[in-house]
Structure 1
């Protein structure tokens, strides 16, 4: 498929009540293994991509290195690829857009963009994050590709905030991000099923959740209206555990 068709396919797979399940990759080898298992889409985990190269998460792995890894993943596959770009490696909307454009040049058709202030404190204001989303949308439109911008909010991740606190702001952010050009709304850290159901019923964008201890079964999430389920760094952690287990037997 051409990049434009891959982007349209990715968007079409986000269906409320019939979620796209993503077992996240970290390099071309893991991506090919996941594709070979029948995955219709490959998504990366920024945490796993960084960890696989000896870096901590939080944009500590150089963007030029990330670009090389993503280029290899995209070149190895014939299905849609969506990339976790953390905060876009800049607070400046135009630099964010330029960085995403570099990845699009390698064929990717989706991104996650978070509203956490990377290596800072708290979240970007709604206005600031909307400016970043809008700049990326304008760039993608100029390229003629309907890039799937999965707008991530970290309201419930590492903040101590639990429902019902934060739900109103989550709705406000989802609505604003949609107006700015977002394609999906990602709420990692949210595991409360009733809150997830409420967001699915009131938020315009397809909702994405991340697998964590305490999250409901996929069937319950589907019934709640979830459109995308991500495993984040789970696949990488399991793979490294398996390597360590075998190594511990061999190296005794």
Structure 2
């Protein structure tokens, strides 16, 4: 599919009666496996990429060029629409955010998220007006495109120790008014908070699953009003868990029973084709 076809497909996924799951590969290989398994769209994960590169998931651990290069590899790995974790847009100013969106479009992405977290411990969240201006700048770029690019605006309060649901909803509503296509507040504490967020905006709401203690099913999230579900770094961490358990078995017992649970070579090898 070309970029227009991918963009239209991605937009349509947000209009379904049930939420769709958008898993997060961290390289071309994992993207091809997920595409081959039948998922309809993919998203990048900055944490998954950082771990694969031997770095912590922290502010400035990855450059914009590194994240976009990885996103480009994932775009090229399959014919699925891809949305990218674009962090805070790699700059404080609205102009920096706008440039990041333009660069994301140029590599074939059809969606991307911009967060209102600064990455600075002393002031972790952008002031309200400035946060809205940044989303408005991104939306202005999106509106100029010849295809629908799904701009996701993220309110990061709950991931930064600011457990203020009212302010989170106020921000999401303002981001919607500024032109965001999808709203996202990672770290919401419970089902009632998710329900309230979904009821407070008219654009699709995305949530992240795979965090410890979050056990809602796709159908349960649909009942709460959710349209999209991503998996963040959880698939990456699941892979790391299997890797470490296998290595620990070898190290501690000198046995190799882990190989009984490993995916056969021929299956993995056969999935390394573009779907």
Same fold (TM over 0.5): yes
Task: Quote the residue 2:91 is aligned against.
Answer: 90
Paired residues for 1:51-70 under 5 Å: 51-57=51-57, 58-70=59-71
Give the RMSD, CA atoms, in angstroms: 1.8
Task: Quote the residue 2:263 is aligned against.
Answer: none
Residue number among 145, 148, 153 corresponding to 2:147 in the alignment: 145
- Does the 8 Å CA contact 1:137/1:147 hold for their aligned counterparts? no
- Does the 8 Å CA contact 1:14/1:228 hold for their aligned counterparts? yes
- Does the 8 Å CA contact 2:10/2:41 hold for their aligned counterparts? yes
CA distance, structure 1, for counterparts of residue 12 and residue 189 of structure 2: 25
The CA deviation at 1:206 is 1.1
Task: Quote the residue 2:6 is aligned against.
Answer: 6
Which one has the largest radius of gyration?
A: 2
Paired residues for 1:73-222 under 5 Å: 73-120=74-121, 121-159=123-161, 161=163, 166-211=164-209, 212-215=211-214, 216-222=216-222
The gaps in structure 2 that reach 5 residues or longer are 255-275
Residues 21 and 226 from structure 1, CA distance in 2 versus in 1: closer, same or farther, beyond 3 angstroms? same
- 1:143-196 Cα shifts (integer Å, max 9, x gaps): 3232111111112224151xxxx2322221122101111011111101311121
The CA deviation at 1:250 is 4.2
The gaps in structure 1 that reach 5 residues or longer are none
Residues 93 and 228 from structure 1, CA distance in 2 versus in 1: closer, same or farther, beyond 3 angstroms? same
CA distance, structure 1, for counterparts of residue 165 and residue 8 of structure 2: 30
Task: Quote the residue 2:269 is aligned against.
Answer: none
- Say which SS state the counterpart of residue 156 (structure 1) adopts: helix
Count of aligned residue pairs for this structure pair: 248
CA distance, structure 2, for counterparts of residue 32 and residue 16 of structure 1: 24
Task: Quote the residue 1:47 is aligned against.
Answer: 47
- 1:217-252 Cα shifts (integer Å, max 9, x gaps): 322211111111121100000111112222334454
- Does the 8 Å CA contact 1:16/1:225 hold for their aligned counterparts? no
CA distance, structure 1, for counterparts of residue 184 and residue 99 of structure 2: 22
